[in-house]
Chains A and B, each alone.
Chain A
């Protein structure tokens, strides 16, 4: 049923610190398996999580400078996804047709946002300074932020599409930016950012209890 929900616009794919400089990590959005990696230039990129050569997940890749090297055979891709080097044939200039499939990827509000390359929707722009707090996997498939708010002790201050919004949470000094990343049969990820370090621990406790509510069996 969830697969009917299309991956049309920009979706949250993780907190900014999930992909540290020089690393590659895995993200799942609906059924899409995505590698997110950050070069030394500080830019995050999101690609389909398979090397065009033999299908190896690029989230296992090695980041050097601003290039990603597949762990399996060392095929190396530049920051735009073009294959730059095939170690088994050091003198070969790789054909232009060998490319990792890129997603749109922007960072705003302390989070990484991803869109399919064919999406024409403008990327999100979230004002203010947001600090990554917690990401939590929830064992329940979610259809949007609204479903989360129905159960948490929080008020929506500013909606940002179906999957994210700014909340006022009792006991916190600033607001919380909460985003839902649906993962099909794997449930969902909840990502939370806060406005300052004083709220980190309490926001973390709040999102833990929110998850507890969401995972509680629904009475028939």
Chain B
């Protein structure tokens, strides 16, 4: 199945610049199509199977490409221009599920006590308080704000757990960014983000990053933390049935804690997203 217009109209991250060694052609998949990427000097060139070139841009620590000749603009993340932040990229991790499932999981707080036990949540504090979800009509993106959750290891210096505040942003069907209150800089937010490269309707590659004010942890320890968390999620994502995202509300039953998931599924539906979603007829 070829991707719907909305899905096809975006830019997609395909790796970090360092992942493309000079002169080595790397065959890749994007939206069920074969593409080839190769580094030539300071550029990465991407071509389709028929040899036609794709547009390429380097942003947010990654190389992005698109299968469209006139794609939508890639969303802005002004935080990448702020002084003093550290960027750690966690590489590309394959996951056997629709990238839409991966984005939805990233927006979810209710799984913290069960999947990230002892790190992002504990079973004794599972409650998800009401939070706000809004559409930014101008930029056509979803924001979930005032998300508060009890975290046992909120900061390296914290002795007990505490309520941590988050914001979530979905500016792209396959990208999501978490803003977390920065423990060392008043009023600032640390960013953790996920750029999904959807390879097939039910398979994807997750590229992730952290962009933080942090003077105490090494890059490697931030990397290990990120990868540890993501691999805990991966076991869930590969065991959700079906692998594609059901967007019919009659199929999977949400509660108030799923407000951002509900908004995300509605937004996909309103934009005519079909590729990567499961039809109710497939439920059987």
Chain A positions near chain B (C-beta within 8 angstroms): 33, 49-50, 52-57, 60, 70-74, 86-90, 92, 97-98
Contact = CB atoms under 8 A, between A and B. Distances in A.
Interface string B117-151: 00000010011100000000000000000000000
Nearest to B246: A55
Interface in B226-278: 235-236, 239-242, 246, 252-257
Contacts of B123: 74, 87
Contacts of A86: 255
A74 B239 CA distance: 15
B85 interface: no
Contact of A88 (B127, B242, B246, B252): B127
A57 B239 contact: yes
Contact of A90 (B114, B126, B235, B242): B126
A87 B241 contact: no
B96 to A, nearest CB: 13
A73 to B, nearest CB: 5
Given A60-B239, A72-B111, A87-B110, A52 B252 contact: yes
Contacts of A71: 114-115, 236
22 contacts: A33-B241, A50-B240, A52-B252, A53-B252, A53-B253, A53-B255, A54-B252, A56-B240, A60-B235, A60-B239, A70-B114, A71-B115, A72-B114, A72-B240, A74-B113, A74-B123, A74-B126, A87-B123, A88-B126, A89-B257, A92-B255, A98-B253
Contacts of A50: 240-241
Contacts of A97: 253
A56 B101 CA distance: 11
Contact of B252 (A55, A74, A92): A55
Nearest to B254: A53
A33 B239 CA distance: 11
Contacts of B254: 53
A94 to B, nearest CB: 9
Contacts, number: 69
B110 A73 contact: yes
B253 A72 contact: no
Interface residues of B, number: 23
A55 B257 contact: no
Contacts of B241: 33, 49-50, 55-57
A61 B173 CA distance: 30
Given A33-B241, A72-B111, A89-B127, 9 more contacts: A53-B253, A54-B252, A55-B241, A55-B246, A57-B239, A72-B240, A87-B127, A89-B257, A90-B127
A50 B240 CA distance: 7
A88 B240 contact: no
Interface in B167-211: none
Nearest to A74: B114
Given A52-B252, A54-B252, A88 B257 contact: yes
A87 B126 CA distance: 6
A158 B39 CA distance: 69
Nearest to B104: A54
Nearest to A32: B284
Nearest to A92: B255
Contacts of B115: 71-72
Contacts of B255: 53, 86, 88-89, 92
Q: Which of B110, B113, B115 has the most CB of A within 10 A?
A: B110
A56 B113 CA distance: 16
Closest 5 CB pairs of A and B: A87-B126, A88-B257, A88-B110, A88-B128, A57-B239
A10 B241 CA distance: 24
A56 B128 contact: no
Q: Which of A53, A60, A72, A92 has the most CB of B within 10 A?
A: A72
Nearest to B236: A72
A34 to B, nearest CB: 11
Contacts of B257: 73, 88-89
Nearest to A73: B110
A22 to B, nearest CB: 17
A53 B236 CA distance: 13
A82 B239 CA distance: 22
A55 B242 contact: yes
A49 B241 CA distance: 8
Contact of B113 (A49, A87, A89): A87
Interface in B55-78: none
